[in-house]
Structure 1
Amino acid sequence: MAATITPLANVDAAWLKMEDPTNLMMVTGVLMFPRPVDMDYFRALIESRLLQFDRFRQRVVRPSLPLAPHYWEFDPHFNVNAHLHRIGLPHPHDKSALQQLVSELMSTGLDFSKPLWHMHVVDGYGEGGAVIVRLHHALADGMALVGVLLALTDMNPGAPRPTPNGHLAAAEPDALAPPSPLRGSWEALQLRAAEMAGRGVGVGRRALIEGLETYLNNDRPRQLAEMTTDYAHAAGKLVLRAADNQTIFKGELGIAKRAVWSRPLPLSEVKAMRQALGVTVNDLMIAAVAGGLRRYLEGRGEEAVDFRAAVPVNLRGPHEMGGLGNKFGLVFLDLPVATVDMPRRLALVRYRMEALKNSHEAPVALDILGAIGFSAQMVQDAVVRMIGSKATAVMTNVPGPPIPLYLAGQPIERMMFWVPQSGRLGLGLSVLSYAGNIYLGIASDAGLVPDPDGILLGFYAEYDELLGMV
C-alpha cells in the first residue's frame, strides 16, 4: 500500500526553506527540575502524549522536481530512542554549564532524515536535572510548540503514570481528589493554554498586542486582511520601510550561538511597579531590555542608537489552539535604546506599543511567509534579506502557566524558550512568565555577541532603576 503523504503548507515550507547552518529554524527550550529526571517515565510520556501527533512520527521529504512541494511522510524506521538521549552535564554542573550545553545544541541542526525534533535529558544539574528540547519551526510556530510541550505536563505530582505501552497506570489515591477526567489529556492542555496564554480573549474584539503578549482573538487580523486598502497600505509600509540602523548586533552570522537566561524576577514585584507607574508589565520589561542593550553598546565603545525588533503576533483563534502548523505575523517595534532617561524611555515604549495595537502588518507578514513557501530559492532569499534588513532582533513574550506544572512526577522549577531569528538576524530576546516569576532569555550569534551575559547585567541595572522609581 502506498505511503501516506501530506504536502507542507506554504507557511510551514517557508520555515524549512529558511534553514541555514548559520541560522537554524528551531525552537529551543530548557526545563529545569529539582531532582534528576526519570528517563523511563519521561519516555512513556513522550510515547503516550507527544506521539499522538502524527507530525512527531513524520519526516520531511524534499522532492526531486524543482517546483514540487515538500511533503510529510511517516518515517518507516521511526524509533523514539533516536529522538531521546540522556547525557551528563559537564563540570561545574551549574547554570553556566547548562547555558553552555544549551548553546551547543542550539548551534546544532536536526537530522532531516528523521522527524524534526530531539530532546536531551540532562543529569548532573546541581542536585537536579534538566530537559533540553529542539523542535523545528516547520512543525509549528512557537505558541503551538510550547502548547504541545505543556501537553506532557500535569497539574499535580500524583498524576497517573503511563505504562510502557502508552496507557495510563492507576493514579495514587491522593491524586484522585479532586477528580479531573481531562487531566493529562490534550483537551486539558487546550483549556490551560486558553486560560494562561489567552487572557485577552474577548477583550474588545480586537487584535491585542498588549506589549507583545500573545492573545488568541482572531477576528481583528482577519478583518484587517480583508480591507484591501488598509492591507495594501500595510504591505507598502512593510516593503518600503527603511533599513534598520547598523549596530554590532547586525552582521554576518556564524554557526556558533550563545544562550543565557536571567534569574527569576518576582511577577508580584513587577506588577507592583506596573500599578505604581501606570504602565503594563510588558512596557516595563521592554524598557529595561532597551536600557540593557544601550549599556552593552556603550560598554563596548559603541554609539547607542534605536533599532527595531520583529515581534511575532499570534493569528490563531481560540478554537484553533491545539493545532500544529504556523499561523502568526510580524510587526516591527522601535526599541528606544538611545534614550537614557528611564521615565522618558518608558513613555516612548508605551506610546509605540499603543501604535502597534491597530497595526495591519501582521497578516501581511503571514502572507509573505506563505509566498516564500512556494517561491524559488532565489526569490525566497531576496525576500528574507528584505525582511531581515528591517530589524535587528526578534522579540517574543509568552505568558506561561501561572502555577507550577509537573513533568515525570516532579515540578518544573524554571523554563525558557527561544524562537529562531528569522531573516538571518543575530539576536533573540525572549520574555517568559512562569509560576509567579518572569524571565528574560537571550540568544545571540557568538561572532556578533559572544557575551550575552553582558546584556543581562545591563538589564538587571535597568530593572533596579525601575524599582527605584517606586
Structure 2
Amino acid sequence: MASSRGGGEPLSPAAQLFLAPSFNCYVIAMMGCKTKINPQVIKEGLCQTLLKHPRFTSKLEVRKGRNTGWTLTTVNLDDHVIVPEIDSVIDFPDRFVEDYVSNLTKTPLDLSKPLWELHILNIKTTDAEAVSIFRIHHSMGDGASLISLLLAITRKTSDPDALPTIPTHKRASSISQSNSFLWFFMAVWWGLGLIWYTVVDMVLFVLTIFFIKDTQTPLKGAPGVELNTKRFVYRTVSMDDIKLVKNEMKTTINDVLLAVTQAGLARYLNREYCAGANGAAEWNSSSILKKIRLRAAILVNIRPVAGIQDMADMMAEKSKAKWGNRMGYVILPFSMSLHEDPLEYVRQAKATIDRKKHSLEAVCTYVCAKLLLNLFGVKVAASIARRVLFNTTVAFSNVPGPVEEISFYGHPLAYIAPSVYGHPHALTIHYQSYANKMTISLSVDPIVITDPYLLCDDLQESLKLICDVFRGRHIDNV
C-alpha cells in the first residue's frame, strides 16, 4: 500500500471534470519496440525520470467523499509496471495485443495509488518485437503535456544522451510596419474579425449544448457510448506523402490531415449508406452526404506547452514548468462530400482551419467551464461538457513527434500510437508523427464501427488519391 508523504496540490478545473463519473477519461499510448523489452531496465529508468515528476508520485486525496487534491505518496513500481505471462505460441499476436488493450478499458485505475500504469507485452507483432502500453488518467494532465513528458523520458537512438527533436511551427511573416497606416488598418480589421468569429463560435457552442446535434450516422454513438468497451487500431503512412501535399498546396500538416480525415470519413459513410440502400435505383449517396452535419470536438491547450527539455528538467528538479489541465474546446465542422478532384478536400480543410484560427473559442470555453465549475459544481459542469461532446461525432487531434528514431530506456521504438477513451464519442482519430512516418490511431466503439480496419483503409486510400494528383503531374513534366 502506498504511504502518504504530505502536501496537497489542488485539482485543476479540468482535472475535476475528468474525474467526474460521467466524464472519466484516460490517455493510452502504445509504443512498439524493435527489440524485446527488459522490465528491470524499464523500472530503473522510471526511477530516474518519471518517478521524479510530482504528479506521477501523487495520489488523489479523498475527504468526505470529494476529490480535494494530489498528495505525494511512496510508489511501489511493481504496482504500476505490469508484465503478464504470455504464451510463447500465439496464432494471431496482433489481435492478442488489440484485445489486451481493449480489455484495459473495462477496468478503472485504483484511486488509492498514482493514476498510471505501464504494461509490457513481450510478444512479436507485425510491426514490433514487443509492445509497451502506458495508461494514464486524463486528470493527471492534458494530452499534449503527457505525450511531451513521455517523449522526454526517451532519447535519440543515434545519441543516447540527447533528447528527441520535435518540429516547431513557423509563423508566417507579418505585414511590414513601414507602412503604418496599412498596418493599423489591417490590425483593426483583424481585431474586428476576431471578435465577430469568437461571438459566432460561442453562440454555436451554446446552441450545441441545448439544440444542435450532429446527424445520426454509422459513426455516431448512442447514449452511454462512453461506458462501452473501446477498441484501438492504428495504421502507419508515410510522412513524405503528407509533406508532398503540404508543400505543393502551400498549407500546413494540420490542413492535410484534416483533408485526409474528411475524405476518409466521406468514403466510409458513402459505403455504409450504399450498402444500406441495397442497390435502390433512386439512391443518390452524394446528396445524402451533403446533408450530414458532422463535427469534431477538439481539446486545445490555452497555455504554452512545456517543451521536451522543460519536461526533462522538471523530472531532474531543475525546472518550474507549469503542469496540469488548462484546455478549452473547439468545435470543428467537417464537410461530408465526394469530390472528383481530391485536392478540393485540402482546399476546404485549409479554409476551415484558417477560419477557426481567427477565433478565441478555446479560451472562452475554458473560462466558461471554470466559471460553471465554481458556481454549480463538478456534476453540472461535467454534464454540460459531456453534452457538448455527445452532440458532436468525433474527437480529433494531432501531436507532432520526434523527427528521428528514439529509444525507450535503450529499446528502439518502431511506432507510437496514442489515443484516449472514456468520453462520449464512438470514434476518436489521433495523428502522431514519428521519424518519417505518421501513425493514424483510432479508438472506436466496436458496437458502432464493427470493422475499424475499413476506416483505416479509407483514410490511407484518401491520402494516396491526393498524393497521386501531384505524382501524376511530376510524371507528365518528365
Normalising by structure 1, what TM-score? 0.79
Task: Give distance in 2, aligned partners of 1:231 and 1:467.
Answer: 34
2:12 to 9, 15, 33: 9
Distance 1:272 1:235, change over 3 A: closer
Query: Residues 400 and 40 of structure 1: is their aligned pair in 2 closer, same or farther, counting only changes over 3 Å?
Result: same
Q: Do 1:93 and 1:124's aligned partners in 2 also have CA atoms closer than 8 Å?
A: no
1:265 aligned partner: 237
Tell me the amino acid that sits aligned with residue 404 of structure 1: E
Instruction: Check the 8 A contact 1:261/1:416 in 2, yes or no.
Output: yes
Q: Which whole-Å deviations, capped at 9, do the CAs of 1:155-181 have from their partners, x for residues lacking one?
A: 23674xxxxxxxxxxxxxxxxxxxxxx
Looking at structure 1, the residues matched to 16 and 458 of structure 2 have their Cα atoms a distance apart, in angstroms, of 38
CA contact (8 A) 2:267 2:338 kept: no
1:465 and 1:88 mapped to 2: Cα distance? 43
SS class of match (2:40): helix
Aligned partners of 1:154 and 1:407 also within 8 Å: yes
Q: Percent same amino acid at aligned positions?
A: 21
- 1:255 and 1:318, CA in 2 relative to 1: closer, same or farther beyond 3 A? closer
8 Å CA contact 1:404, 1:412 repeated in 2: yes
SS at match of 2:381: helix
Displacement after TM superposition at 1:344 (Å): 2.8
Instruction: Give 1:94's aligned amino acid.
Output: P
Q: State the shift of 1:372 in Å.
A: 5.4
**Alignment map for 1:140-219 (pairs within 5 Å):** 140-156=141-157, 159=160, 183=161, 192=164, 196=166, 198-200=168-170
Q: In the TM superposition, what is the alpha-carbon distance from 1:204 to its structure 2 partner? A: 5.6
**Closer/same/farther in 2, CA of residues 231 and 292 from structure 1, 3 Å limit:** closer
The AA in structure 1 aligned to 2:243 is: K
2:224 counterpart of 1:248: no
- Deviation string for 1:408-431 (max 9, x for gaps)? 213111111113464x22210001
1:308 and 2:311 correspond: no
Question: In the alignment, which residue of structure 2 is the partner of 1:376?
Answer: 377
Following superposition, the deviation at residue 51 of structure 1 comes to 0.6
Question: Secondary structure at the residue paired with 2:83?
Answer: strand
Partner in structure 1 of residue 205 of structure 2 = 238
- Relative to 1, partners in 2 of residues 1:406 and 1:351: Cα closer, same or farther, differing over 3 Å? same
Aligned to 1:293: 265
Higher share in helix = 2
Higher mean C-alpha deviation, range 23-32 or range 272-281? 272-281
* Alpha-carbon distance in 2 for matches of 1:345, 1:31: 31
More moved, 434-443 vs 85-94: 85-94
**Matched residue type, 1:71:** G
Q: CA RMSD in A?
A: 3.0
Q: Check the 8 A contact 2:244/2:467 in 1, yes or no.
A: no
Residue in 2 that maps onto 1:122 = 121
* CA distance in 1: counterparts of 2:95 and 2:305, whole angstroms: 39
The residue type paired with residue 259 of structure 1 is F
Which stretch of structure 1 is more off in the superposition, 444-453 or 31-40?
444-453
Equivalent positions of 1:21-420 (< 5 A) are 24-64=24-64, 70-75=68-73, 78-88=75-85, 91-92=90-91, 94-126=93-125, 128-156=129-157, 159=160, 183=161, 192=164, 196=166, 198-200=168-170, 234-241=201-208, 242-250=212-220, 251-252=222-223, 253=225, 254-262=227-235, 264-301=236-273, 304=289, 305-317=292-304, 322=311, 323-341=322-340, 342-371=342-371, 373-374=373-374, 375-420=376-421
Post-superposition Cα deviations, 1:386-417, rounded to whole Å, max 9, x if no partner, equal 31244211100011111111112131111111
Give, in whole Å, the separation in 1 of the partners of 2:305 and 2:155. Answer: 21
> How far is the alpha carbon of 1:332 from its aligned partner?
1.5
- 3-state secondary structure, aligned to 1:440: strand
SS of residue paired to 1:446: coil
Alignment match, 1:433: 433
CA distance in 1, matches of 2:159, 2:86: 28
Q: Which has the larger radius of gyration?
A: 2
- State the TM-score, normalizing by the size of structure 2: 0.78
Q: Is the 8 A contact 1:155 1:405 kept in 2?
A: yes
Distance 1:409 1:94, change over 3 A: same
Q: Secondary structure at the match of 1:414?
A: strand
